[in-house]
Chain A
Amino acid sequence: MNTDNEPLLAIRNLHTCFHVFEGVVNAVDGVDLEVPHGETVGLVGESGCGKSVTALSILRLLRCPPAEIQGQVIFHGRNLLDLDREGIRKIRGNAISMIFQEPMTSLNPVLTIGEQIAEAVRLHQGMSRREAWRWAEEMLRMVQIPGARARAREYPHKLSGGMRQRAMIAMALSCNPQLLLADEPTTALDVTIQAQIMSLMSNLKEEFGTSILLITHDLGVIAEMASRVIVMYAGKVVEEAPVKELFKEPLHPYTKGLLGSVPVIGRKAQTGRRLHEIPGTVPSLLEMPRGCRFHPRCPKMMDVCSGEEPPTIHMGGDRRVCCWLFAKT
């Protein structure tokens, strides 16, 4: 599987817009990104930056219309956006699967946990009912659900939040996917449960070599899980870097601002009680500022920023940043 140098997933110039009553909302506006084999790539940004829509566009889980997806999503040399309904169905939950943020609303309340996991393997792997059920129990054991056999016969409402998220992971991994899209997998959970789920995900990744696209707003989760990070703002990628470099030396003013605005435990003595803040708010997707979308909030704004969109500049060492500050004139 790992023989070629091609990334497992490559997104090229992805545009996803929604036609709504007020006009056209460009939720994702020209995103390029790659997920290499066996790596965890973090996609980080604040609400409304387009990170979830990017993930949903990969598997075409958006109703079209009102959504419209353009660009290329290359997976194993094929553009997923060109596949017919049957073609994309064969990929969903099979080669690429997804974990959602809210495990309660994304599990079917009228089916037992076991039935939901078994359904995926029956459809995709052609297992018999009995085999599929046994497999479902095995998966639940693998995600460390105590009493897996009995739990498989229970309905989602009987499980706690952390347990549901484990069941969700079991379901997502049941067909041994090559790529896992994890959309805020730990956001709805308490910290001690979050720690359990994060350690489970890293162990499973090691064991099966699954690539993960990890979407989150939590920079702490990114720092602990991802090897590369992509920062999005208002529908665009503003920066990409290996995780250590991004945290050590963020380039884009937005990334800098984001890192500075998080309180870090035990650092109050050094940094003082005042947190760095980014002034203003994220612009409405219906009224994007001209030029660089961050310019109204940027402390380093120049004349050119409000007029023209900044180019993507490739820096050394696998980094790119989309900002006029780094453009050579």
Chain B
Amino acid sequence: MALLEVQNLKKYFPVKKGVLSRSVGEVRAVDGVSFSLEKGETLGVVGESGCGKTTVGRCILRLIEPTSGEVIFNGRNLLQLGGEELRRIRASLQIIFQDPFSSLDPRMTVGQIIAEPIKNHLNVSKAEVRDRVAYLMERVGLHPEQMGRYPHEFSGGQHQRIGIARALALNPLAIVCDEPVSALDVSIQAQVMNLLAEIQEEMNLSYIFIAHDLSVVEHISDRVAVMYLGRIVETATDRDLYENPQHPYTQALLSAIPIPDPEIRRQKIILKGDVPSPLEPPSGCSFHTRCPERKEICTKERPAFKDLGGGHRVACHLR
């Protein structure tokens, strides 16, 4: 059985207007997303801004309460748990945030930040907490002597290392990584990605790696899910996605990435227009307004997922 199974997850944000805050509509940020995550696997979730990837990540941990769906983690449906049970299970399901600085409390020392989950969840002595914090700091490439320092004394890459140490504090089974490297410079990005890969191997961790940068996602993931306007349009292994992309959106996304090699000259697929507003998503296939291969049916019917074998699934009428 998969470690994490997400079934038909939906999150609609109500749009309120006027003094009475009446609901006048809803933003379908996540509109029926399903996927599974195996032990030790990395599932990449990629998409442009507003596609709902971050909301998916937060709904899994119930940092945002989903509208409907199922999130089965280690055999239990997180959406039916409450209070103490949820608190306990969150020890094994952690998250790393995009902006490493604003996700650290500026008035706590780094030692306190990393120690907090340990103190909250485990009944251990002060000395043990200290040892564990020192070990974690060492593991993520920070100097344990800096335990008494405050977040502002560290650089961006180090902030992200602190965030990783905090997520690792309770030996989790899975970590949701929400754009963990997009705020970092390339040389630091490589350091953090290597660190994440090392830790994964050591602890047999599972990652959900959310990012907008397809080359980063492809690099770290075993499987990739491409999202567009609140839905997954294609899932495939990292290699399949690159060598044999099926959905027109995936193809356009791949061709739009600038490749750092001036010898390669590709014919780019340049999509017209912008991502439509999730307030009024287009009828049928939500990509049809920008799709270069649009057919009549695409404007009317929402495409179902087709299994192309080898875990490659695509939601497109034309495939």
Q: Are B262 and A224 in contact (CB under 8 A)?
A: yes
A204-261 CB contacts (< 8 Å) to partner B: 217-224, 243-244, 247-248, 257-261
User: Which A residues touch B185, using CB under 8 A?
Assistant: 46-47, 217, 282
Total contacts A-B at CB 8 Å:
128
A191–B239 contact, CB under 8 A?
Answer: no
Contact of A223 among B243, B254, B262, B275 (CB under 8 A): B262
The smallest C-beta distance from B213 to any residue of chain A, in angstroms, reads: 8
Segment from B103-111, B202-210, B214-222 that makes contact with A:
B214-222
**CB interface residues, B 171-204, toward A, < 8 Å:** 185-191, 193-194, 197
- Chain A, interface SS category: helix
Can you name the residue of chain A whose Cβ is closest to the Cβ of B193?
Answer: A275
| Cβ contact within 8 Å between B256 and A191 | yes
Task: Check if B270 sits within 8 Å of A195, measured CB to CB.
Answer: yes
User: Given contacts A191-B212, A247-B261, are A46 and B186 in contact (CB under 8 A)?
Assistant: yes
Contact with B along A13-30 (1 / 0, CB 8 A): 000000000000000000
Chain A residues near B243 (CB, 8 Å)? 266
**B259 contacts A264, CB within 8 Å?**
yes
Partner of B262, one of A192, A247, A274: A247
Which chain B residues lie closer than 8 Å to A289 at the CB level? none
B238 sits at the interface (CB 8 A): yes
The answer to whether A278 and B190 touch across the interface, beta carbons within 8 angstroms, is yes
Interface size of B by CB at 8 A reads 45
B120: interface (CB < 8 Å): no
Cα A248 to Cα B261 with chains together (Å): 8
Give chain B nearest CB distance to A240 CB in angstroms: 15
Given contacts A192-B253, A196-B271, A223-B258, contact A265 B214 (CB under 8 A): yes
In angstroms, Cα B245 to Cα A271, docked, is 22
Against A, the Cβ 8 Å flags (1 = close, 0 = not) of B265-289 are 0001011011100000000000000
**Known contacts being A196-B270, A218-B258, A258-B187, is A263 close to B157, with CB within 8 Å?**
no
A268 in contact (CB, < 8 A): yes
Answer yes or no: B48 CB below 8 A from chain A CBs.
yes
Cβ of B318 < 8 Å from any Cβ of A? Answer: no
The answer to whether A46 and B48 have CB atoms under 8 Å apart is no
Among B212, B219, B254, point to the contact of A190 (Cβ < 8 A).
B212
Chain B residues, Cβ within 8 Å of A163: 274
Q: Would A262 and B271 be within 8 Å (CB), given that A191-B253, A276-B190, A281-B188 are in contact?
A: no
Q: Are B215 and A264 in contact (CB under 8 A)?
A: yes
- Answer yes or no: B83 CB below 8 A from chain A CBs: no
With an 8 A cutoff between CB atoms, is A108 at the interface? no
Which chain A residue has the least Cβ–Cβ distance from B191?
A277
Select one of A217, A266, A273 contacting B186, CB under 8 A: A217
A108 to B114, CA, bound (A): 43
A223 touches B270 (CB 8 A): no
**A248 and B264 alpha carbons, distance in the complex (Å):** 12
Give Cα A5 to B42, complex, Å: 55
Confirm or deny: A198 has a beta carbon within 8 angstroms of a beta carbon on chain B.
Answer: yes
Are the CB atoms of B190 and A275 closer together than 8 Å?
yes
Cross-chain contact B186 with A261 (CB below 8 angstroms): yes
User: Given A192-B48, A274-B197, A281-B188, are A220 and B252 also a contact pair (CB < 8 Å)?
Assistant: no
Q: Which residues in B have some Cβ–Cβ distance to A below 8 Å?
A: 48-49, 155, 157-158, 185-191, 193-194, 197, 212-216, 218-220, 238-239, 242-243, 252-263, 268, 270-271, 273-275
A-B contact sample (17 more), CB < 8 A, given A191-B48, A194-B256: A47-B185, A192-B256, A217-B186, A219-B186, A220-B257, A220-B258, A247-B262, A257-B187, A262-B215, A263-B190, A263-B220, A264-B215, A265-B214, A265-B257, A268-B219, A268-B238, A277-B187
Contact sample, A vs B, 19 pairs, CB 8 Å cutoff: A46-B187, A163-B274, A191-B213, A192-B252, A193-B48, A193-B274, A195-B256, A217-B186, A219-B186, A223-B258, A247-B260, A263-B190, A264-B261, A265-B242, A266-B242, A273-B219, A275-B193, A277-B190, A277-B194
